[in-house]
Each structure stands twice: as structure tokens, then as C-alpha cells.
Amino acid sequence: MNAPIRAQYNFCYEVLKDGVELHCRHGSRWSRLVPHAGATLLLLPIVAAFFGKRPFLAIFPFTFLGMFLLLIPQFVLWTFRRQFRVNPNQNVDTG
């Protein structure tokens, strides 16, 4: 009954990557809206060119913003992988 509680952590990329993905997906309420907003901004120039309501080149910069919003999770994983490479505690079991 008086045995100590022992916690063991595994600091390898595969284990921590799942946590980073979950944090990006459920970190805030905006994280659910960002992919939809990115897809909308990505399709906006195509719809504008098809219907001809506004000049295509005036709406084209929104495409880059839409691509940025869609690629935020990949950018976060790339940043995490880059920071993990320089971490001295990588691939270590601690407890």
C-alpha cells in the first residue's frame, strides 16, 4: 500500500508526434474552423474566375492565405520535428 508511484515517459518522436497532432486538432475552438476557412479561401478565386464577378487577380492572394491555413498542421509537425532533433532527451526513457 505504501509502494511509490512510478511514472515512465518515453521521449521518442513517434510517441510525441501523436500528442502534437492531438494538441493541434483539439487545442482550441479555432482549430476546427481553420481548415474550412482555408478551403473556402482556396476555392474563392476559382469561383470568382468562373462567375466573373470580380477580377481573378484581385482575389488570387487569398489562395496563398487559404494554402497557409490548410497547411498549418504540417507546418507545426515540421517545426516540432526540427526542434525534436536538437533536443538532448530524444529517444530516452525517463522515470
For 11-64, write each residue's pLDDT tens digit: 778 878 888 888 777 767 777 788 888 888 888 877 777 777 666 666 778 888
Taking the alpha carbons of 74, 79, 85, 91 in that order, is the dihedral positive or negative?
negative
| Residue 1: pLDDT over 70 | no
Instruction: State yes or no: pLDDT of 75 exceeds 80.
Output: yes
User: φ and ψ at 55, to 5 degrees?
Assistant: -60, 140
Q: Is 41 exposed, middle or buried (0-12, 13-18, 19+ CB in 10 A)?
A: buried
- Confidence band, pLDDT 50/70/90 cuts, at residue 6: confident
Strands (E), 1-95: 9-11, 92-94
Nearest CA among 79, 94, 45 for reference residue 65:
45
pLDDT at residue number 95: 59
**Whether residue 82 has pLDDT greater than 70:** yes
